[in-house]
C-alpha cells in the first residue's frame, strides 16, 4: 500500500472515530481543511486562501488534470496563517514546522485524488461524513 493509500486509510479511521495524533491526527487535519464543515471552509475556502496568498495556480494544479505543483511548508503556512498552523500543530502534538512539512507533502495528492474530474465540485467535498465516503470509495478502487 502506498503512502497516499495509507493516508486515506488514516483519514477514514480518524473521521470515523479513530486515533488522534500521528498519521491519524494529520489525516484529521487534512479532513478539517477539506470538509465543508471543517474549520477552513472546505475546499472552496482553501482555494480562496491560496488565491489571496498569490498561490491560486498551485492549488488549481492539484484540482485540475496534469502535474501537481509542489508547495513548501513555508508557503502553506503563509496560506493558512499562524493561528491555524498553531492549532493544527497542537492537534497533532508536534511543532508547527513539522506539521506544515507533513501537510505540504500530503495535501497536493489528496486534493488531486478527491477531484478526479479535474474540477472542484460546485458544492465542495461535503461534510466530514461525505468526505469519509469519498475516501472509502477511493480505497475500494485499489
Give 49-78 pLDDT, tens digit per residue: 999 999 999 999 999 888 999 999 999 999
> Low-confidence residues of the chain, pLDDT below 50?
1-5, 7-8, 11-23
**pTM of structure:** 0.73
- Please answer whether residues 4 and 13 qualify as being in contact, where contact means their C-beta atoms are separated by less than 8 angstroms: no
Provide CB contacts within 8 A for 142, sequence distance 6+. 1, 5
What CATH number corresponds to the domain at position 99? Answer: 1.10.10.690
Number of structural domains in the chain:
1
* Domain assignment of residue 42, given as a range: 3-140
- The number of residues making up the chain comes to 142
Amino acid at each position: 500500500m502506498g503512502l497516499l493509500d495509507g493516508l486515506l486509510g488514516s483519514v477514514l479511521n480518524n473521521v470515523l472515530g479513530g486515533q488522534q495524533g500521528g498519521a491519524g491526527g494529520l489525516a484529521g487535519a487534512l479532513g478539517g481543511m477539506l470538509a465543508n464543515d471543517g474549520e477552513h471552509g472546505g475546499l472552496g475556502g482553501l482555494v480562496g486562501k491560496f488565491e489571496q496568498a498569490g498561490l491560486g495556480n498551485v492549488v488549481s494544479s492539484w484540482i485540475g488534470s496534469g502535474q501537481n505543483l509542489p508547495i513548501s511548508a513555508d508557503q502553506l503556512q503563509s496560506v493558512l496563517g499562524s493561528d491555524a498552523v498553531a492549532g493544527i500543530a497542537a492537534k497533532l502534538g508536534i511543532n508547527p514546522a513539522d506539521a506544515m512539512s507533513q501537510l505540504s507533502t500530503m495535501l497536493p495528492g489528496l486534493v488531486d485524488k478527491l477531484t478526479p474530474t479535474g474540477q472542484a465540485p460546485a458544492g465542495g467535498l461535503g461534510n466530514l461524513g461525505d468526505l469519509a465516503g469519498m475516501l472509502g470509495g477511493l480505497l475500494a478502487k485499489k
